[in-house]
Amino acid sequence: MSKKKIIYIAAPLFTHAELEYNQKLKDMLLNNGFSVFLPQEDAEDAAQERERQNQECIFVKCVEGVDASDIVVAVLDGVDVDSGTAWEAGYAYAKGKPVIGLRTDFRELSDGIVNLMIEMSIVSLARDEEELLKVLEKFR
């Protein structure tokens, strides 16, 4: 039996809705046989945790999470991609890790779906969770 692939979820985590969606993604991926690094839990990167830790500690844990992952799933919803998500996607790209974009937001830029630099660094763009799972099957 092959080792479970580790997925790093790069996503904004600043609202209750974002935190809940990230948890939903994690649960879905776990239920489909993946291991998951979720920064809001595994790097303790949430508002109340930031009061207990310094930012450098959270940063280091997130970098280590990307380093240990096999795949990065980047949530690209919003008018513009979250800056932390963009950094994580770029870092993963530079490390040669596949980055799969997930954009459930139907808004598009006039010259592309997301920022050019993000769009060119992802290997695939899923438009919903079902499509994401289909894309991830290629990386098992």
**Domain residue limits, the chain:** 6-137
140 residues of the chain, pLDDT tens digit each: 568 999 999 999 999 999 999 999 999 999 999 999 999 999 876 555 556 667 888 899 999 999 999 999 999 998 889 999 999 999 999 999 999 999 999 887 666 778 889 999 999 999 999 999 999 999 98
CA distance 111 to 56: 36
CA distance 32 to 28: 6
Tokens of 104: 């459930």
Look up tokens 């799933």; give the residue.
Answer: 73
Strand pairing class (71-75; 99-102): parallel
CA distance 125 to 55: 30
Contacts of 133 (CB under 8 A, 6+ apart): 28, 32
> Would you call 132 exposed, middle or buried from its count of C-beta atoms within 10 A (0-12, 13-18, 19+)?
buried
> Would you call 49 exposed, middle or buried from its count of C-beta atoms within 10 A (0-12, 13-18, 19+)?
middle
What is the pLDDT at residue 47?
59
In this structure, what DSSP letter does residue 109 have? B
What is the pLDDT at residue 51?
62
**CATH architecture entry for 6-137:** 3-Layer(aba) Sandwich (3.40)
